[in-house]
Amino acid sequence: MRGALKFFLTVSTGLACAFSVGCGGSSSSSSSTSTTSPTQTIVTSGANVAPISVNGGPSGNYPDAGFASVTVCVPGTTTCQTIDGVLVDTGSSGLRILSSALTLSLPQQNASDGNPVVECLPFVSGYTWGPVQTADVGIASEKASSVPIQVLSDTDFAAPAACTDQGASSDTLENLGANGIIGVGLFAQDCGSYCEVVQTAAGDFNPYYECPSSTASCQAIGESLAQQVQNPVALFSTDNNGVIIELPAVSEEPAVSGSLVFGIGTQSNNALGTAAVYTADPTSGNFSTTYSGTAYPDESFIDSGSNAYFFPSTTITQCGSTSDAPGFYCPSTTQNLSATNQGANGASGTVNFSVANAETLFNTSDFAFGDLGGTFSGGFDWGLPFFFGRNVFVAIQGQSTPGGTAPYWAY
């Protein structure tokens, strides 16, 4: 029997209004309709292909989460470590590794006055805290050099109240459910222009700090784009304009395997083909979803780091707060539902999906569920169940792609 589970959203979605120049709520009119996805082909080999497993992860109790292996090296050397059980997350950008899983000593990034740089990244389910260090990053046969990453630790530096106020720390295997997170989302950095200067307005949040010592108070700082935690894919020498996540269709299975493919239209195995392109808001990374007659303009996103379809509903029974699945849906019978997605480019398409009783699902030995749903008041979060049975393209802003101007999702 499993206890309560978690789901992750990044600052670019969970704090979209704070981390962008503006939060638009408009959507354009539909110019095309696509109700079915192209026939799925899962690529299993190639220098740009890394395997993904949905198998419960290193904690052994994390359903609907895809894990890959990532190699980190001391920059410019062959002193390396391969770390398994890293959560693949299209809802964030940047590599984050638990300090407890890391045996290497990596170079520390320092501020202009020599003090160590430390980051606090808030997720809906909590926050990650730890120093920004530099590593060469490899996955499959792709490599990015001198990448700023976050090493997650509650003990290296004292987190400020502005960070701990974000909820529970995710800096342990028990709380994170993974040995790290590889954020392969729509953006090249994890914060962008918002973090280049210190934010001083009431209610603003600063992710980056300099910490004079392990016990001294940390002070918020501005962090240049190049120094921010980076989406490693954007730093690959090739295949750097996006990723494809390919997972087979599933109802309920103990485990499934698929692929993380790097690049869009850069190799014979990553063509965009006939996938429909849904452009995202360039500041928030969101698009629009209409569900049950209610539109959520610029409030929806596709996030492999979320382990369910998370959306608001007043008609589907929620699991009890003392059940094994608080925050999830527990209908008495499986609900067959549909919603319509619309990109900023006007592309529109219907998605059919199902939601089963989460408590029943969690009381099995399975870890891959195509019908897991949960409550969410902030819009529509197309979590990992959305990825089963379709190839999902994630095009990184600022990169050239065959699908036109990024950022966009395609499927």
Whole-number pLDDT of residue 37: 53
Task: Read off the pLDDT of residues 261-319 as tens digits, 9 standing for 90 and up.
Answer: 999 999 999 999 999 999 999 999 999 999 999 999 999 999 999 999 999 999 999 99
Whole-number pLDDT of residue 69: 98
Whole-number pLDDT of residue 6: 52
Whole-number pLDDT of residue 38: 63
Q: What's the chain look like in SS3?
A: CCCCCCCCCCHHHHCCCCCCCCCCCCCCCCCEECCCCCCCCCCCCCCCEEEEEECECCCCCECCCCEEEEEEECCCCCCEEEEEEEEEECCCEEEEEEHHHCCCCCCECECCCCCEEEEEEEECCEEEEEEEEEEEEEECCEEEEEEEEEEECCCCCCCCHHHHCCCCECCCHHHHCCCEEEEECCCCECCHHHHHCCCCCCCCCCCEEECCCCCCCCEECCCCHHHCCECHHHHCCCCCCEEEEEECCCCEECCEEEEEEECCCCCCCCCCCCCCEEECCCCCCCEEEEECCEEEEEEEEECCCCCCEECCCCCCCECCCCCCCCCEECCCCCEEEEEEEECCCCEEEEEEEEECCHHHHHCCCCCEECCCEECCCCCEEECHHHHECCEEEEECCCCCCCCCCCCEEEC
Whole-number pLDDT of residue 59: 94
Residues in the chain with pLDDT values less than 50 = 1-5, 9-36
